[in-house]
Amino acid sequence: MTMTETDGPRPLVRGFYERRTGSIQYVVSCPRTKRCAIVDPVLDFDEKSGATATRCADEILDYVRAAGLSVEWILDTHPHADHFSAAQYLKERTGAPTAIGERVVEVQRLWKALYGFTDLPTEGSQWDRTFAEGDVFSVGEVPARILFSPGHTLASVTYVIGDAAFVHDTLFMPDSGTARADFPGGSAVALWRSIQAILALPDATRLFTGHDYQPGGREPRWESTVAEQKAANTHMVAARSEAEFVRIREARDATLPMPKLILHALQVNIRGGRLPEPEANGRRYLKFPLNALEGAVWE
């Protein structure tokens, strides 16, 4: 018999807001077994000094210990363009397997060429598991499944864990609309179709977004429902057809500068959150191309 989102206990979800990049990290746990998954963890990085730190990831580990949880999965929804993934660090601390969508190989191939990385493996071997559309797994006794959700990136997936869906950079909070689709490999058409699949989930499904940029200076928020998004998402209410959405999304994207860390972050994140290996002097170096993102908006 196929598991459904209602077969197991309702998962507990704790969000951790990272103010530097507006990112939300999650711990989703099974209340019966105390097993959990960590979703989209952040490795701290200061681009001005080149310093890295593990404050965000350590806060998550402190919560896991205090709540008596054991980590079953470390999940990334996609290769992030605005922060480093802490997946590898957390794997070293917990022993839990890492996972991402299987189409990450396409992102690896695209960015391998842009970076000129001749020796980067591009078959997804940097993760312990790469999920395909429709794959099922579990967090404790909570059933989970994969929705392939491209548009923001070629590889984006939504994790549907019980009645909670981790929708990454597809839908933001209703007052913020939807995510951009103009990165290399992005597509506003694909994003519209991914959002339709998410909004086809039951109305009471809890949706947890990947970012919040505090419009109007309000406090950070990251949880909504399918019903709330249908009723109030600024982009989805304004665009009642795919063509309208593409027009609105592409017009908005044409005004947006690239994330300030895109060239820093992707060379780490296509390696599963691993920093570059030390060179002969013992130091690690980020290296990125000049003039690779043609037509990008300047601030």
The predicted-structure confidence for 143-159, as pLDDT tens digits, reads as follows: 999 999 999 999 999 99
pTM score, two decimals?
A: 0.96
Give dist(CA 250, CA 256) in Å, integer. 10
In a domain, 79, yes or no: yes
Q: Give the pLDDT score at 299.
A: 84
> Residue 59 is inside which H or E element, if any?
helix 55-66
Q: Is the pLDDT of residue 181 over 50?
A: yes
Q: Give the pLDDT score at 8.
A: 86
Number of Cβ atoms within 10 Å of the Cβ of 125: 11
Q: Give the pLDDT score at 95.
A: 98
Q: Give the pLDDT score at 174.
A: 98
Domain containing 202 equals: 12-265
Residue 122 is classified by DSSP as -
pLDDT one-digit tens code per residue, 238-256: 998 999 999 999 999 999 9
Q: Is the pLDDT of residue 279 over 90?
A: yes
Provide the residue type at 87 as one letter.
Answer: A
In a domain, 158, yes or no: yes
Q: Give the pLDDT score at 6.
A: 61
Say how many domains are in the chain: 1
Give me the residue label for tokens 């043609």. Answer: 294
pLDDT one-digit tens code per residue, 11-59: 999 999 999 999 999 999 999 999 999 999 999 999 999 999 999 999 9
In a domain, 257, yes or no: yes
In a domain, 167, yes or no: yes
In a domain, 285, yes or no: no
In a domain, 45, yes or no: yes
Q: If we measure between CA atoms, which residue out of 166, 262, 152 comes closest to residue 210?
A: 166
In a domain, 282, yes or no: no
In a domain, 144, yes or no: yes
CATH number at residue 36: 3.60.15.10
